[in-house]
A and B are shown apart, each in its own frame.
Chain A
Amino acid sequence: MSDTDDTRETGTQLPAAVPSEPPTWSAAALAAIEAVVLEVPGVADLFRARPTVQSAVTAIRVGVTPTVSRLVLDGAVLRIVIGTDGFAPAPAVARAVHDAALDEAARHRLVLSRVDVRIARIG
């Protein structure tokens, strides 16, 4: 028995191994971000962002059906297309959406290099 084999000597389990790979995107993470975006004050609609070839490849790799999510993940860039309610100032709404998406991604231990928010409709 090795001197370093603590488990056998003490009979206790070691902490779970740290994942060797960073967390990856999942449909659940995208759905969670969609949900928080829709809760941002001033957001009236969440439209389907236009996918790029890169985003389609990413979606297939992480197992997200491209046509299901309204968000598009293009590498580490998240693209969001919204409509605002016409009352809240649209630039402030876009900023709040960016912040909410970034925070929710972080909660899922996911890193985004950028969040592109596109306002396609006001009011």
Chain B
Amino acid sequence: MTAGPDPRESDPSVLAALEPEDLDGHSIDELADYLDAGMQPADPSIDDSPACQNALAAIIRLRNASLSALETAAQLEAPADESWIGGVLANISIEARAGRDVPLRAESETERPVMTEGAIRSLVRRAGDAVPGIVVSRCSIEGDVTVFAAPVRVTVEVAIIAGPAIHATAELVRAGVTTALAEQTDLVVEAVDVLVRDLLVEPAAVSEAASGRTRTVDPTDTTDSTAGEADA
């Protein structure tokens, strides 16, 4: 496993600047604690916050999708893994905030529909997480999303559980994200780039290695594997 999703997200000044208000007054740690407590007692400031709900959904997916692989990897390289999970959580915190308003197509003068950038990033993350063996570590939207029909480019950075063919799995991510954006937004998507940044060691592979068999995983094979671009 490589060191983390993106060094930029490890910048303490960036994270510190996000803490006070970007999740409607809550930090990502508070949301994780709220989940651990079974979301009881109910906290309306979290339950009624779309940004918090986006972040909570992403944390739940992260926990459900990657728990076994992360636990196994953590046994092999605990310090790096903690850093990696922390990086993903930091990215969730960044992405879940509302961000800019992205205009939708209006059909009358009394209509002004918009979608938050946070909602779109969460949609992208959910579409990527839905692919088996994938954990989205970071996603971003490049382009002036505040202008209707302006072309944008979406980048999804993922960790992939060793086993399935990396290019085929990354292609599933690209297709899933492209479809989700086409169905749920009015964005003009110029491209969807999928970057495989990390390789999560499959538990079975570790078991085999531990039992003396020869199967191993070389993380250097996974760095910056780009799946390709979506059709415009």
Q: Contacting B123 at CB < 8 Å: which of A91, A116, A123?
A: A123
A48 to B118 Cα, complex, angstroms: 16
Residues of A in contact, count (CB < 8 Å): 26
Q: Which of A1-9, A20-28, A31-39, A107-115 contacts B (4 or more CB under 8 A)?
A: A107-115
Asked, given contacts A120-B98, A122-B122, A123-B126, whether A95 binds B50 with beta carbons under 8 Å apart, the answer is no
B148-185: contact bitstring with A at CB < 8 Å (1 yes, 0 no)? 00000000000000000000000000000000000111
In the assembly, what is the distance between CA of A89 and CA of B184, in Å?
A: 5
Tell whether, in the assembled complex, residue A47 and residue B49 are in contact, meaning their CB atoms are under 8 Å apart.
Answer: yes
Whole-angstrom distance between the Cβ of B127 and the nearest chain A Cβ: 10
B184 lies within 8 A of A95 (CB): no
A95 to chain B: which residues have CB within 8 Å?
107, 111, 113
Residues of B within 8 A of A64 (CB): none
**B213 CB to nearest A CB, Å:** 41
Decide: A45 near B110, CB < 8 A? Known: A91-B185, A118-B115, A121-B119.
no
**Interface residue ranges of A57-116 to B (CB < 8 Å):** 81, 83-84, 86, 89-91, 94-95, 98, 102, 112-116
Say yes or no for A117: interface residue by CB 8 A criterion: yes
Asked if B137 is at the interface of the complex by the 8 Å CB criterion, the answer is no
A31 to B126, CA, bound (A): 33
Interface residues on B, range: 20 to 34
Q: Are A90 and B115 touching (Cβ within 8 A)?
A: yes
Interface string of B20-53 (1 = CB under 8 A from A): 0000000000000000000000000000111101
Q: In whole angstroms, what is the CA distance A94 to B184 when docked?
A: 11
Q: Which residues on the B side are within 8 Å of A83 (C-beta)?
A: 50, 53
Whether a CB of chain B sits under 8 angstroms from the CB of A119 is yes
Interface string of A37-51 (1 = CB under 8 A from B): 000000001011000
| A121 and B186 contact, Cβ closer than 8 Å, known pairs A91-B104, A112-B110, A114-B112 | no
B116 interfacial by beta-carbon distance below 8 Å: yes
- Whether A118 pairs with B183 at a CB distance below 8 angstroms is no
Smallest beta-carbon distance A65→chain B, Å: 16
Contact B119 A91 (CB under 8 A): no
Name A residues whose Cβ lies closer than 8 Å to a Cβ of B: 45, 47-48, 81, 83-84, 86, 89-91, 94-95, 98, 102, 112-123
